[in-house]
Amino acid sequence: MEKNWFTDKELEDYSNQGILSDKVVKELRELREKDKKKKSSKSP
């Protein structure tokens, strides 16, 4: 199943509204980057 990650814009909005803390936003971005790298390394 495909994971739908937040866009940078969404993360920024959530951070600005206080929905997500800066720490959480940073972690989500790192997870998303790792996930992208995993996907691209798997493909032939």
Please tell me the predicted confidence (pLDDT) of residue 28.
92
Q: How many domains does the chain have?
A: 1
Q: What is the pLDDT along the chain (44 residues), one digit of tens a residue?
A: 566 778 889 989 999 999 999 999 999 999 999 988 887 876 66
Rg (CA), the chain: 12
Please tell me the predicted confidence (pLDDT) of residue 7.
87
Domain assignment of residue 20, yes or no: yes
Q: Is the C-alpha dihedral spanning 8, 9, 14, 17 positive or negative? A: positive
**Residue for token pair 């929905």:** 19
Please tell me the predicted confidence (pLDDT) of residue 43.
60
Residue 36: which domain range?
Answer: 8-42
Domain assignment of residue 13, yes or no: yes
Q: What is the 3-state secondary structure (H, E, C) of the chain?
A: CCCCCCCHHHHHHHHHHCCCCHHHHHHHHHHHHHHHHHHHHHCC
